[in-house]
Structure formats: structure tokens, C-alpha cells
């Protein structure tokens, strides 16, 4: 059996090099209502600066998810967690937003009654994530608190609710 001469073939660059937009970014904010739009704008600006190639509807869903997760932490964890942490992680074809606080309670997505003004935040996060073909969960942190996160694909999933209807 004969072996080819010369150095071994290198794998294609797209398989070995991280894309310029991939990475992990964290910032903290006070657990106060003004942090909600500030966090949303900070995430929007970060993703634009990094040239993250997220589809428009994915970006819209992600920013709404960030708003809902920060709102939830501000409204329900501020007593035990005067500061929250927002973490954005971008992979080759996905993006994850997580909000951490020091409150140990693990929230559940509940459907609110029709007349309720609030109470739909985590349910909305769950629905937006599922519609995009992503996943979400709550994890305990080493500090005894929690991280609530949602992970979305950068592009809408084929055949999912965000895809256009087939032509007739």
C-alpha cells in the first residue's frame, strides 16, 4: 500500500477557525426596571458590533427574550439579588442569552389568566424559543442562584413556524 507524499491535508478552514462573531460576553446590571431596556439595547449593539448573522425574526425574538428574562429577574429576584448578570454566547450557528441572579427559586412558565396584566414572560420565552427551533431551561448556579437561558438558531429552521408558507 502506498501513502501520498507531502504533509497531511489540512481540514477546510471553516471547520477549524472560529468565526469572528463567535464568543461569550457578560455584563452586570442593577436589578432595577431601567436595566430592562438598557440590557436589550446592550445586547442589540453587541450583536451588531460582532456582525452576528442572525435572521431578522431571530434577532427580534432574542431581544424580546432578553427583555422578558431581565424583567423576570428584576421583578422576582431583586430582593435577594441586587445585581443580575446577562450572558450572551454565540456559536457557529446558534445564539444563547442567559440571565443570572442570586435568588434560588426556579421559575416555571405559566399561562396567565386573560385579565392579568403580567405573568406571561416565561411562557412567552418558551413559545418564542420553541417557534424558532431552540431550547430554554433554568439551571442552578454555583452561588446558589439560577440562570434562565434560551438558545436559538441563527437562521429559522426549515419547516418551522417562522418559515414562509409553501407556494401554491
Q: What CATH number corresponds to the domain at position 57? A: 3.30.565.10
pTM: 0.80
Count of domains in the chain?
1
Q: Which domain holds residue 142?
A: 22-153
Query: Would the pLDDT of 1 be above 50?
Result: no
Judge whether 11 lies within some domain: no
pLDDT score at 113:
56
Q: What would the pLDDT profile of 62-117 be if each residue is shown by its tens digit?
A: 999 999 999 999 999 988 999 999 999 999 999 999 999 999 987 765 555 555 55
Judge whether 42 lies within some domain: yes
Judge whether 132 lies within some domain: yes
User: Rounded to whole angstroms, what are the CA distances from 90 to 6, 50, 98?
Assistant: 37, 10, 12
Judge whether 9 lies within some domain: no
Judge whether 78 lies within some domain: yes
Amino acid at each position: 500500500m502506498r501513502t501520498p507524499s507531502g504533509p497531511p491535508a489540512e481540514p477546510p478552514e471553516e471547520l477549524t477557525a472560529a468565526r469572528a462573531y463567535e464568543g461569550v460576553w457578560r455584563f452586570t446590571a442593577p436589578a432595577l426596571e431601567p436595566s430592562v431596556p438598557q440590557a436589550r439595547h446592550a445586547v442589540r449593539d453587541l450583536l451588531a458590533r460582532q456582525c452576528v448573522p442572525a435572521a431578522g425574526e431571530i434577532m427580534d425574538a432574542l431581544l424580546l427574550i432578553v427583555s422578558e428574562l431581565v424583567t423576570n429577574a428584576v421583578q422576582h429576584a431583586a430582593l435577594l439579588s441586587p445585581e443580575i448578570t446577562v450572558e450572551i454566547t454565540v456559536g457557529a450557528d446558534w445564539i444563547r442569552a442567559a440571565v443570572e441572579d442570586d435568588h434560588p427559586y426556579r421559575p416555571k412558565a405559566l399561562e396567565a389568566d386573560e385579565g392579568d396584566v403580567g405573568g406571561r414572560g416565561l411562557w412567552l420565552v418558551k413559545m418564542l424559543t420553541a417557534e424558532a427551533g431552540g431550547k430554554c431551561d433554568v439551571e442552578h448556579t454555583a452561588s446558589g442562584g439560577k440562570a434562565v437561558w434560551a438558545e436559538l438558531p441563527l437562521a429559522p429552521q426549515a419547516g418551522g413556524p417562522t418559515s414562509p408558507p409553501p407556494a401554491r
